[in-house]
Chain A
Amino acid sequence: MSSLILDTCTRAAFHTMWVFSLFMLFSGHNAPGGGFVGGLIAGAALVLRYAGHGTDHVRRVLPVAPELLLGTGIVFAAGTGATAWLAGGQFLQSGIAKLHLAVLGEVKLPSVLVFDVGVYLVVVGLVLALLETLGRQDPQ
């Protein structure tokens, strides 16, 4: 069932894919990328693991309930909209904070980023939920 080639490739690619997915998430404001694509890449990394060793293995790699990820993600996304609204702006209006960090210099931190993090979490949670419900082998 498990294949040496797949295993080795997964081991090489897995962490790179996670880093790349995070890069996509953070670069999404003004360049191609964003929460959805980032989440899909992270999800693809999980699917690689699944293809090698099955659902239980994925569960060990990322021991979080998919419902929790999905719920938190939507709270982030909807919460960003609501925060702008509570702060007196329009619903979903975005703001930008500029930070000066030690190494990176000036960093723009748009509130859309929080929204994107929410989307990222939802997509990862969705992939997990799919692996959980559809990915299991038929008991018969």
Chain B
Amino acid sequence: MTLVLPAVVGVLFASGTYLLLQRTLTRIVIGVSLLSHGANVLLLLSGLGAGEPPIVEGHTTPVRAYTDPLPQALVLTAIVISFGMTAFLLSMAYRSWRLTHSDEVRNDLEDRYLHARGGGPA
């Protein structure tokens, strides 16, 4: 077990969260995909150590040769899903840019109501 991968997870989550809090759609999209990379690495880390594969039984083969196959299968699924999601988000951001020619997230409806009533800056 190395410390590098957990640190990578931490950095990915931190920078993803930071980008998610921005107002521009492109940054949000990148933030979301960084976050999902972080989750995928975390999933990969969750495997049992080498030599403890959950499926090989009887120990007729030297089990140390195998790593835990399950997280890899899980992470592949998660990667495919996040790939599709990122594509979808990008196309939405593109559509939004086509419609408004701005990359900024608009104010919430309630905020605009409050602003219209003169309730401070919006």
To the question of whether A and B form a pair in one complex, the answer is yes
Within 75-114 of B, Cβ neighbours of A (below 8 Å) are at 76, 80, 87, 90-91, 94, 98
Interface segment out of the listed A4-12, A46-54, A89-97, A130-138 = A130-138
Q: Which of A36, A130, A138 contacts B98 (CB 8 A)?
A: A138
Q: Chain B contacts of A133 at CB under 8 A? A: 91
CA distance A133 to B87 in the complex (A): 12
Q: Point out the residue from B80, B87, B90, B94 that lies within 8 Å of A36, measured CB to CB.
A: B80
Q: Are A134 and B80 in contact (CB under 8 A)?
A: no
> Complex Cα distance A109/B91, Å?
39
What bracket does the count of chain B residues touching chain A fall in?
Answer: under 10
Q: Which residue on chain A has the smallest CB distance to residue B84?
A: A126
Residues in A with CB closer than 8 Å to B80 are 36
Within 8 A of B (CB), among A105-140: 130, 133-134, 138
Q: Which residues of A contact B90 (CB under 8 A)?
A: 134
Q: How far is the CA of A62 from the CA of B86 in the complex (A)?
A: 25
Q: Which residue of A lies closest to B80 (CB)?
A: A36
Chain A, residue nearest B95 (CB): A134
Minimum CB distance partner of B98 in chain A? A138
B91 & A134 in contact (Cβ 8 Å cutoff):
yes
A36 to B83, CA, bound (A): 12
Bound CA–CA A36/B76 (angstroms)? 10
Measured between beta carbons, the chain A residues less than 8 angstroms from B91 are 133-134
The answer for the CA separation of A60 and B90 in the assembled complex, in Å, is 26
Nearest Cβ in chain A — how far from B37, in angstroms?
18
Query: A87 to B49, alpha carbons, bound, how many Å?
Result: 39
Residues in B with CB closer than 8 Å to A138 are 98
Minimum C-beta distance from A29 to chain B (A): 15
Residues of B within 8 A of A (CB): 76, 80, 87, 90-91, 94, 98
A sample of 5 more A-B contacts (CB under 8 A), given A133-B91, A134-B90, A134-B91, is: A36-B76, A36-B80, A130-B87, A134-B94, A138-B98
The 8 closest A-B pairs by CB, nearest first: A134-B91, A134-B94, A36-B80, A130-B87, A138-B98, A133-B91, A36-B76, A134-B90
